[in-house]
Amino acid sequence: MNPLALISITAFVTATVSGIYIFVKNPESRFNRTLLAFSALVAYLSLTDFGLYISESYGMAALWVRMGFLWPFVVPVILHMVMIFTGRMRRWYTLAALYVPAFIFSVLELTTGLITAGPLLTPWGWTFAASRSPAYDLSTIWGLVVGLIALILVVIHLKSSSSKGRTQGLYLFTGLLLPIITGFLTDFMLPFTGIEVPSLTNPAAAAGVAIIAYGVLRFHIPVLSPINAAMDIVRSMNSFLIITDLEFRISYVNPAAERLTGFSAAELLGRRIDEVMEFEGKLSEMMGSMAESALKSRDGLVPVVVSAGHIHGSGGEHVGLLFTGSDIRPIKEMEQKLKRREERLVLLTEHMADGLGEFDRDFNFRYLSPSVKNITGYSHEHLINRSAIDFLDYVHPDDRENVRDLIMSDEEMHRATFRIKRPDGSYRWVEYVDRPIRRDGGISGYVFGLRDIHEHKLAEEALRVSREKFRELFRNMNAGVIALTPFKGGFRVLSMNPAAEEMEGVVCGDVKGMELEKALPGIAESSIREALEGVTGKDGPLHLPEVKRGERWLEVYIYRLSTGEVVIIYCDITLRKEYEERLRSSLREKEALLREVHHRVKNNFQIISSLINLQLSEIQDPAPLLDLQSRVQSMALVHELLYESEDITSIDMRRYIERLTSSILDSYHAAGIELNVSAKDVTLPIETAVPLGLIINELITNSVKYAFSEGGEITVELESEGDDFILTISDNGVGFPPDFVLEESDSLGLKLVSGLVDQLDGDLEVDMEDGTQFRVRFSVVPYRPRI
């Protein structure tokens, strides 16, 4: 037998059995009835395919081709079932749009050769040959469009379904779409590309019906079984459900009951309901009512609300009991939260600074919080049951009429600010506001709030006075003040005081709101405009000490306020600049004069040194004169350095010490002595430098004359330590005798050193180990006026 004939007869049997099975499962379902019709159509077409494949003559094959004229109904029936399953079949004319074209194509197939030309013998047996005509093309396009619509509806429904519904629906939709896809491939796509294959649409449709039947058997597809749907509802519901027999023994529990109790169904079945749930009174008295109870779980009692009722049999007799309810732990927790919130509200009301109260509709006090006494000075007992009209006696006479009119007005909400008289006779400002209490569509009273605003009122008055003072200061200050408001791209003029108007030659009212560039071009073209962009307000005001505008000089402060506005405050400092220039000119003249004085003093010291040179040749012992000449030169060097320095008030001590010590070594021809000088970044005024230079001169001269027989090393260090300075002069010479005492020495030089150290208010230390070291700690000698 032809294998395709065997496949066709198998498809016939499969479609018939599957369709009947699905229909029997739920005969009332419209979907099941439509699926039965589809199964019958597939079985019929499979039977025609079988007859075609076993035909032995052209005539017999032509008969079976004509018998397959119902094939155009396959795709519309599939779309019909998809629309029923997805809930989109709502109008009768939708069916007409589906089946009228199918009916027309079936008639053409039965009566003409416009769609199918006739039988065709192929290697796999007889089949049909397509007619290359507009009718065939139109039927093909129509079938593709209907199939595509079914495919789109399937995809949309699967995307919107839950995971469980998607798993169940895949069986159904696979069965429906299998013939569409197979027919598209074997009847259109492959022949269009030149590949001839037998038509497998009907076997695919039969396989699809079998897939649906398997889905019904395994997954109980909801649309096919209302009973299964009801069971799914019971299993998925959040409320627990327990069924017992008439002896109150549990015969069924749903998953929600298992979750709440923590016990499995196997552990609960057969137990009495009162072993699982607590009841007040008899179980029989609960029937038909709802009450609070508690489920006994592994973790303790679970509060629930439960209703109980009878389950009736087909004859109306009682066959069991049904207990269903919900977990009310969230409700209990909410009740606790509400209770705590109410307690907090009472606590807040009792202790808040503002007073709270309640009037009835006639404005009689019904409730007053304790804080009302703090505000008014009157106790709860004094005010309760009094009316607001009586309370007007405690209102300041100037405010009384306004408060009375407010109370008597028809407005639903009243707000007022007035002064209230306290028991001690003083008045305090209070703010009053109320809102209506509505019941049964009417106003049953008012709830009101009372706030002490006395300090606020005083602050308002102080602020008003302060504002008036500020306005007066703003109008009368000599400095110009301009307030600007920023906008995208620049600034606009907000206000100006009269001083600024006079400086700029404008009136504030004429330029208010204008852009800065147009309103005040003088400021916009100066460096003030660039500075406006850089002010942030975080680091304080931006200060421009000197701004040149024409012939005038200005000192400018720019502030950015917390509100965003920018304020420019500027003063005309032209006269100050002139005075400063005169002062600088005078200072330069005095500085030049002082330099000349230092130069002449240095020259006078040089003259004295020259005179000493002339005298040296006439005496036998030149040593005293050489010492005197060295001292004179140390003082002359101070004035020389001051004359050469840009700063005529202080001396660079490193440069001074290097020149002084070099001069001393040259004077005594001490070529074998190495000198090291260290005095980094130390400058001293003349009052300190002169005695310090004399000290250095005496100690270096002493080392050169007495410390070395051949050669040696002298070190001079000057360093700062806080506010003090330390001068250290050391040599590696022979040192002093062991019995030498500085205070008992007859040396003029050492006596001079001691006196100069005292002049510096310093301390002198001598270390005679390994040579000699003199260490002088001193501070800067303050300037003392000589005249």
Q: Round the average pLDDT of the chain to a whole number and report it.
A: 80
Which of 416, 386, 387, 391 lies closest to 403 in space, CA to CA? 416
Poorest-pLDDT segment among 71-85, 154-168, 237-251, 740-754: 154-168
Backbone angles phi, psi at 98, to 5 degrees: -80, -45
Choose the final residue of a domain: 625, 648, 671: 648
**Beta-sheet strand order (sheet of 240-244):** 250-253, 240-244, 318-327, 300-312, 290-297, 277-278
Residue 229 has pLDDT above 60, yes or no: no
Range of the domain at 740: 655-787
405: domain CATH number is: 3.30.450.20
Q: What is the pLDDT of residues 730-773, one digit of tens each?
A: 998 888 877 777 777 777 778 888 888 888 888 988 888 878 88
Which of 184, 201, 172, 204 lies closest to 71 in space, CA to CA? 201
pLDDT confidence of residue 591: 63
* Average pLDDT, integer, range 578-592: 73
pLDDT confidence of residue 167: 65
Q: Which residues pair with 116 in a beta bridge?
A: 130
Which of 6, 12, 70 lies closest to 39 in space, CA to CA? 12
Q: What angle do CA 688, 689, 690 make, to 5 degrees?
A: 95
> What band does 777 get if pLDDT is binned at 50, 70 and 90?
very high
In this structure, the answer to whether residues 329 and 245 fall within a common structural domain is yes
pLDDT confidence of residue 775: 92
Q: What is the pLDDT of residues 360-406, one digit of tens each?
A: 877 788 888 888 888 888 887 788 877 777 878 888 999 888 888 87
660 lies in some domain = yes
In this structure, the answer to whether residues 400 and 520 fall within a common structural domain is no
In this structure, the answer to whether residues 524 and 388 fall within a common structural domain is no
* Average pLDDT, integer, range 119-146: 79
Poorest-pLDDT segment among 603-612, 636-645, 744-753: 636-645
* Average pLDDT, integer, range 36-45: 86
Residue 350 has pLDDT above 60, yes or no: yes
In this structure, the answer to whether residues 487 and 448 fall within a common structural domain is no
pLDDT confidence of residue 786: 47
In this structure, the answer to whether residues 527 and 448 fall within a common structural domain is no
Euclidean distance between CA atoms 252 and 237, whole angstroms: 15
224: domain CATH number is: 1.20.1070.10
In this structure, the answer to whether residues 437 and 530 fall within a common structural domain is no
| Length of the chain, in residues | 787
310 lies in some domain = yes
Higher pLDDT: 787 or 180? It is 180
> What band does 594 get if pLDDT is binned at 50, 70 and 90?
low
Q: How far is CA 139 from CA 100, 181, 258, in A?
A: 12, 16, 58
Consecutive H or E run containing 517: helix 516-519
Choose the final residue of a domain: 648, 675, 709: 648
Poorest-pLDDT segment among 162-171, 448-457, 520-529, 730-739: 162-171
* Average pLDDT, integer, range 600-616: 73
Euclidean distance between CA atoms 54 and 383, whole angstroms: 111
Contact 560, 536 (CB under 8 A): yes
643 lies in some domain = yes
* Average pLDDT, integer, range 610-622: 74
343 lies in some domain = no
In this structure, the answer to whether residues 42 and 174 fall within a common structural domain is yes
Euclidean distance between CA atoms 460 and 469, whole angstroms: 14
Residue 646 has pLDDT above 70, yes or no: no
Identify which of 19-33, 148-162, 302-316 has the greatest average pLDDT: 302-316
Residue 666 has pLDDT above 70, yes or no: yes
pLDDT confidence of residue 787: 47
Is residue 483 exposed (0-12), middle (13-18) or buried (19+ Cβ within 10 Å)? buried
Ramachandran sector of residue 513 (left: φ over 0; alpha: ψ -120 to 50; beta: rest): left
Residue 90 has pLDDT above 70, yes or no: no
Higher pLDDT: 782 or 270? It is 270
625 lies in some domain = yes
614 lies in some domain = yes
> What band does 110 get if pLDDT is binned at 50, 70 and 90?
confident
Distance of CA 549 to the CA centre of its chain: 47
360 lies in some domain = yes
In this structure, the answer to whether residues 717 and 587 fall within a common structural domain is no
Euclidean distance between CA atoms 541 and 519, whole angstroms: 24
Task: Domain count for the chain, please give it.
Answer: 6
Higher pLDDT: 686 or 322? It is 322
Residue 224 has pLDDT above 50, yes or no: no
DSSP-derived 3-state class of residue 34: helix
pLDDT confidence of residue 650: 77
Choose the final residue of a domain: 596, 626, 648: 648
pLDDT confidence of residue 27: 76
Identify which of 66-70, 89-93, 174-178, 182-186 has the greatest average pLDDT: 66-70
pLDDT confidence of residue 728: 92
Q: Which residues pair with 435 in a beta bridge?
A: 447
In this structure, the answer to whether residues 699 and 585 fall within a common structural domain is no
Residue 223 has pLDDT above 50, yes or no: no
Euclidean distance between CA atoms 40 and 467, whole angstroms: 98
Higher pLDDT: 313 or 10? It is 10
In this structure, the answer to whether residues 668 and 787 fall within a common structural domain is yes
In this structure, the answer to whether residues 365 and 497 fall within a common structural domain is no
342 lies in some domain = no
690: domain CATH number is: 3.30.565.10
pTM: 0.34
Euclidean distance between CA atoms 530 and 540, whole angstroms: 17
pLDDT confidence of residue 222: 46
* Average pLDDT, integer, range 456-468: 84
In this structure, the answer to whether residues 50 and 167 fall within a common structural domain is yes
